[in-house]
């Protein structure tokens, strides 16, 4: 029998960020593993002109829920959407809904956050810190609350090289900073942001660190635990291998490499690529909920959810697997043949950016203009370069995280739970995982049909022939410009060609003699 799954049966669970990448996987797994869960309250904001109800209807129709739809067709009746906006006072939840949450909720999973690296500090603080603070205040009033699980990030303390499962004191009091951004002009806040965030690379990781500290300060006597996943990637097994639904983290870069758009990445090939499959992170989060509620540890436990310590995999290996998968299973309408050059050398990277990104983009835009179409490649590349500038910090360093609590929790699970809520990353085969991840980007993100692979391969062959033709034209031009004009260059050229010809004749003759 599964203790974890049984624990959630007949319980009311509150999930924030349920419309996001991880929140959705959490809701799906909870419904599938604990079909008798009493209710899952999800905090949803109206967005892009869509009503909350429509957003939830759209969400439960997505492919992710296919398995639970089969196993439990009325699963959507358990999902109770509550209109909320985490940056507004009292989370903008109406009094009736607030009363229901206060009397019903047993477990809170807080996933909502802004994960953008370029988020203005004020908004990142209001959502990631003030939002967490307000949710905690609401949770403290819940009559039947058993546990509160906060999803942070393994990079919250990325200014440290060794990251323990403890709270690191931030450089300033979160409350003081919240007060400051409340009255200060936004332009001024933008100006002083680099000074305020200090040695954090972006407002996202900085505000996640502040939120952790605030939780420790203000948790009162409620049972809180923090889970810190590293770079969350497509699912390993559940509900489908390779399931993914956004372009964040590595996914967008994989696609850009698969389309042959990105050909150079500034990266330390030997640095650890700490990717954790989304189902692993969610299994750990659910097991943490069970353990914290049932075993009630004396202090707040923090779980680093990483792979590098137990099953390291580096960026260089990843590039190899990504490119080889996309060559075998090409994406449709590729721009060029997938090929990526990874270097940590600034000058080499600049050279390859000019030669393999900017020049082809310029030529392609010229071609689009000449054929009466709107140019778009230069714009796309400038956006990709912006993203890569943000990612560079994470691809050029290696961190070491302790994972004692994750291992402790694994030992607490029954053999059945170890299978049902598996987060043992030692069993992960990276080549197989990356292959499924790349196929997942094709199937679930780009909605491409696998039956189109032969045509996509044909397209790659066409691109290869075009490339050969262009290379030949380029060589002829070089010859005409530089070699044909100088007698000495011609002599060297004929000497080299002659030498190659002699070598070839020699090998042909010796192989004929052997037969």
Ligand X SMILES: CCCCCCCC/C=C\CCCCCCCC(=O)SCCNC(=O)CCNC(=O)[C@H](O)C(C)(C)COP(=O)(O)OP(=O)(O)OC[C@H]1O[C@@H](n2cnc3c(N)ncnc32)[C@H](O)[C@@H]1OP(=O)(O)O
Q: How far is the CB of 295 from ligand X (least distance, A)?
A: 27
User: Cα–Cα distances in Å, from 265 out to 50, 155, 382, 513?
Assistant: 37, 21, 14, 48
Q: Which two tokens stand for residue 18?
A: 């349920």
Distance in Å, CB of 434 to ligand X, minimum: 10
22 lies in the binding site for ligand NDP (CB under 6 A): yes
| Distance between CA atoms of residues 498 and 495, nearest Å | 5
Inter-residue contact 281 to 20 (CB < 8 Å):
no
Q: Which of 3, 6, 83, 87 binds ligand NDP (CB under 6 A)?
A: 87
Query: Should residue 17 be labelled a site residue for ligand NDP when binding is judged by CB under 6 A?
Result: yes
Sign for the pseudo-dihedral over CA of 242, 243, 249, 253: positive
265 binds, among ligand NDP, ligand X, none (CB under 5 to 8 A by kind): ligand X
Q: Tell me whether residue 86 or residue 272 sits nearer to ligand NDP (CB atom).
A: 86
CB of 115 to ligand X, least distance (A): 4
Q: Which stretch binds ligand X (CB under 6 A): 167-175, 280-288, 317-325, 475-483?
A: 317-325
Torsion of CA 174, 177, 178, 183, to 10 degrees: 170
User: Does 25 contact ligand X by CB under 6 A?
Assistant: no
DSSP 266-315: E--TTSB--EEEHHHHHHHHHHHHHHHHHH--SS-EEEEE-STTTS--BH
Interface of this chain with ligand X, residues 413 to 452, rule: CB under 6 A: none
The residue whose Cβ lies closest to ligand NDP is 20
Decide which of ligand NDP, ligand X, none touches 163; Cβ closer than 5 to 8 Å per partner kind.
Answer: none
2 binds, among ligand NDP, ligand X, none (CB under 5 to 8 A by kind): none
Which of ligand X, ligand NDP, none is residue 464 near (CB under 5 to 8 Å by kind)?
Answer: none
CA dihedral 369, 372, 376, 378 (to 10 degrees): 0
Q: Quick one: which segment of 16-24, 182-190, 363-371, 436-444 binds ligand NDP (CB under 6 A)?
A: 16-24
Interface of this chain with ligand X, residues 319 to 348, rule: CB under 6 A:
319, 322-323, 340
Q: In terms of Cα–Cα distance, which of 108, 104, 124 is closest to 17? A: 108
The Cα 323–Cα 129 span in angstroms is: 39
Rule CB under 6 A: say whether 313 interacts with ligand X: no
Among 7, 20, 139, 456, binds ligand NDP (CB under 6 A): 20
Q: What is the CA radius of gyration of the chain?
A: 27
Q: Is there binding between residue 101 and ligand X (CB under 6 A)?
A: no
Q: What is the DSSP string of 142-193?
A: -TT--EEEEE--TTTTTTSSEE-SSPPPPSS-HHHHHHHHHHS-HHHHHHHH
| Interface residue list for ligand NDP (CB under 6 A) | 17-23, 43, 45, 47, 84-87, 111-115, 127, 151, 153, 208, 229, 231-232, 246, 248-249
| Interface residue list for ligand X (CB under 6 A) | 115-118, 153, 155, 231, 247-250, 252-257, 265, 318-319, 322-323, 340, 383, 386-387, 390-391, 394-395
């Amino acid at each position: 029998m599964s203790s974890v799954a049984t624990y959630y049966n007949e319980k009311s669970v509150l999930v924030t960020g349920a419309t996001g990448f991880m929140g959705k996987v959490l809701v799906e797994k909870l419904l599938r593993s604990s079909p008798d869960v009493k209710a899952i309250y999800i905090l949803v904001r109206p967005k892009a002109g869509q009503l909350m109800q429509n957003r939830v209807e759209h969400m439960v129709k997505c492919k992710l829920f296919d398995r639970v739809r089969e196993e439990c067709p009325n699963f959507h009746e358990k999902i109770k959407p509550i209109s909320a906006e985490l940056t507004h006072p009292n989370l903008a939840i109406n009094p009736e809904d607030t009363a229901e949450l206060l009397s019903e909720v047993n477990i809170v999973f807080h996933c909502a956050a802004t994960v953008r690296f370029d988020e203005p500090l004020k908004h990142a603080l209001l959502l990631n810190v003030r939002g967490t603070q307000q949710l905690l205040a609401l949770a403290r009033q819940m009559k039947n609350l058993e546990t509160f699980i906060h999803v942070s990030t393994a990079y919250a303390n990325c200014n440290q090289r060794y990251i323990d499962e403890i709270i690191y004191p931030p450089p300033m009091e979160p409350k003081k900073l919240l007060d400051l951004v409340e009255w200060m002009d936004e332009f001024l806040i933008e100006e002083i942001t680099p000074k305020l965030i200090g040695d954090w690379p972006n407002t996202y990781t900085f505000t996640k660190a502040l939120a952790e500290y605030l939780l420790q300060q203000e948790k009162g006597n409620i049972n809180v635990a923090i889970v810190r996943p590293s770079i969350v990637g497509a699912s390993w097994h559940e509900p489908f291998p390779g399931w993914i639904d956004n372009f964040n983290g590595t996914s967008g870069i994989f696609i850009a490499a698969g389309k042959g758009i990105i050909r150079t990445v500034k990266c330390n090939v030997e640095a650890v690529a700490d990717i954790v499959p989304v189902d692993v992170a969610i299994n750990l989060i659910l097991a943490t909920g069970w353990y914290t509620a049932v075993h009630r540890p004396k202090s707040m436990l923090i779980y680093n959810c990483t792979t590098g310590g137990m099953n390291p995999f580096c960026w260089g290996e990843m590039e190899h697997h990504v490119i080889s998968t996309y060559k075998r299973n090409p994406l449709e309408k590729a721009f060029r043949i997938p090929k990526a050059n990874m270097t940590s050398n600034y000058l080499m990277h600049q050279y390859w950016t000019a030669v393999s990104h900017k020049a082809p983009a310029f030529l392609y835009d010229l071609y689009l203009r000449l054929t009466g179409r709107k140019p778009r490649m230069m714009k796309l590349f400038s956006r990709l370069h912006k993203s890569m500038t943000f990612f560079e910090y994470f691809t050029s360093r290696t961190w070491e995280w302790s994972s004692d609590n994750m291992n402790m929790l694994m030992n607490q699970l029954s053999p059945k739970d170890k299978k049902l809520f598996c987060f043992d990353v030692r069993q992960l085969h990276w080549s197989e995982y990356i292959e499924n991840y790349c196929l997942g980007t094709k199937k679930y993100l780009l909605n491409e049909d696998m039956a189109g692979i032969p045509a996509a391969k044909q397209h790659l062959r066409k691109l290869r022939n075009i490339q050969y033709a262009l290379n030949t034209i380029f060589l002829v031009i070089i010859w005409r410009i530089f070699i044909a004009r100088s007698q000495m260059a011609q002599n060297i050229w004929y000497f080299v060609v002659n030498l190659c010809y002699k070598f070839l004749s020699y090998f042909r003759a010796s192989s004929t003699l052997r037969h």
